[in-house]
Copies of this chain bind each other. A is one copy, B any other.
Amino acid sequence: MTEFIPPGTRFHALPSPFAMKRGGELQGARLAYETWGRLNATADNAILILTGLSPDAHAASHPDNPEPGWWEGMLGPGKPIDTDHWFVVCVNSLGSCKGSTGPASPMPGTQTPYRLAFPDLSVEDIANAAHTLVDSLGIRRLDTLIGCSMGGMAAIAYLLLHPGSARRHINVSGSPRALPFSIAIRSLQREAIRLDPNWAQGQYSDEVYPESGMRMARKLGVVTYRSALEWSGRFGRIRLDEKRQEEDPFGLEFEVESYLEGHARRFVRRFDPNSYLYLSRSMDWFDVAEYAPGGCDDDQRASAALSSIRLEQAMSIGVETDILFPLQQQEEIADGLRAGGCDARFVPLPSPQGHDAFLVDIERFGAAIGSFLGGR
């Protein structure tokens, strides 16, 4: 099956075997990553970025790949994450399909993709794999670990599983545990893919591909990545041309439907469906409360686990209009870290763009992140 690897991607060989949290191990697995800026002599200017579900490691342009990246406005010389000062690493998550080993990768010594033979994937595996990369780059301690969305979960796992591995932390629209509304949405997305006859229990090919399932999953994603407020202002009740409506009864009629269709079209066939299922489920499974010290009450476990993390400084940032990783979850992260003695700020932003705001509202997010990092 096609892999989707941007030019200029680097690769890091994971220790082999690489043990997975829920059992099983990977042989000869790798991570795709990209870097910006230069690691200084004392190796104390490093920033690691852990991504959301779908991005590759190409967060921003660089000489080996001048194409704009998914966080182009945030990362580069003179930008909020100033690569004239910081050495920045962005990693494609383990289990993804953008160069890192995942369900679409060939099983060792074969041409056959893992598909559903890939072991259960946890957010913790994504974190552990990224930690081996950081280690291999000669970085004993990150200046700042940044995690966005799913990457915000992975960052919490990273800090818990590798104490002392970062001096500071920025959690962007993240969550300390999956809540039932988000689980329900992701469950429906997975069901849409699995219901597509072309999914064929994971045995699809490029020719027979679960396109309608992936389109539905992506559209449902986009609905929850943005916000009703933004869409009311942006689309209102604008209609498409009458002609397009007449082609198909119950076909697209409103601008908002066409917007979803465009998003879906740009996504399908650029992401491996099995990889999507694995990554999606890893988020449902994540619960920081698993790391609570013994003897906690049930409703204290998440907070106790977060407060066991040792950091100098942290910022947990998100937006009011996020329905997928709601703002209270970012507040919970900040509160938990602060209870552990860290100088942790909670930064709620009024961006109307919902969960995706960190990708679009660079003005607000950039100001907060730039200021946290030291205004360079």
User: CA separation between A273 and B228, bound complex, in Å?
Assistant: 27
User: Which of A116, A181, A256 is the most central at the interface, judged by chain B CB atoms within 10 Å of its CB?
Assistant: A181
Residues of B within 8 A of A255 (CB): 180
Q: Point out the residue from B177, B187, B194 that lies within 8 Å of A237, measured CB to CB.
A: B177
**Does chain B have a CB within 8 A of A257?**
yes
Q: In the bound complex, do residue A184 and residue B257 qualify as a contact, i.e. CB atoms below 8 Å apart?
A: yes
Residues of B within 8 A of A116 (CB): 249
User: CA separation between A69 and B256, bound complex, in Å?
Assistant: 36
Q: In the bound complex, do residue B179 and residue A223 qualify as a contact, i.e. CB atoms below 8 Å apart?
A: no
CB A10 to nearest CB in B, in angstroms, measures 32
Q: In the bound complex, do residue A180 and residue B231 qualify as a contact, i.e. CB atoms below 8 Å apart?
A: yes
Q: In the bound complex, do residue A260 and residue B326 qualify as a contact, i.e. CB atoms below 8 Å apart?
A: no
Q: In the bound complex, do residue A192 and residue B216 qualify as a contact, i.e. CB atoms below 8 Å apart?
A: yes
Q: In the bound complex, do residue B323 and residue A284 qualify as a contact, i.e. CB atoms below 8 Å apart?
A: no
Number of copies: 2
Given contacts A181-B223, A236-B180, A287-B237, contact A326 B228 (CB under 8 A): yes
Number of interface residues of A (CB under 8 A): 46
Residues of B within 8 A of A231 (CB): 179-181, 184
Task: Give A168-214 interface residues, CB cut-off 8 Å to B.
Answer: 177-185, 187-188, 190-192, 194-195, 197, 212
User: CA separation between A257 and B220, bound complex, in Å?
Assistant: 16
Interface string of A219-240 (1 = CB under 8 A from B): 1100100011001101111000
Residues of B within 8 A of A252 (CB): 187
CB A369 to nearest CB in B, in angstroms, measures 26
A-B contact pairs, 23 of them (CB 8 A): A116-B249, A179-B232, A180-B228, A180-B231, A180-B232, A180-B235, A180-B255, A181-B231, A182-B228, A183-B254, A184-B223, A184-B231, A187-B252, A187-B260, A188-B220, A188-B260, A191-B216, A194-B250, A195-B212, A195-B216, A197-B197, A228-B326, A253-B284
Rank and list the top 4 A-B pairs by shortest CB-CB distance, nearest first.
A181-B228, A180-B256, A180-B231, A180-B235
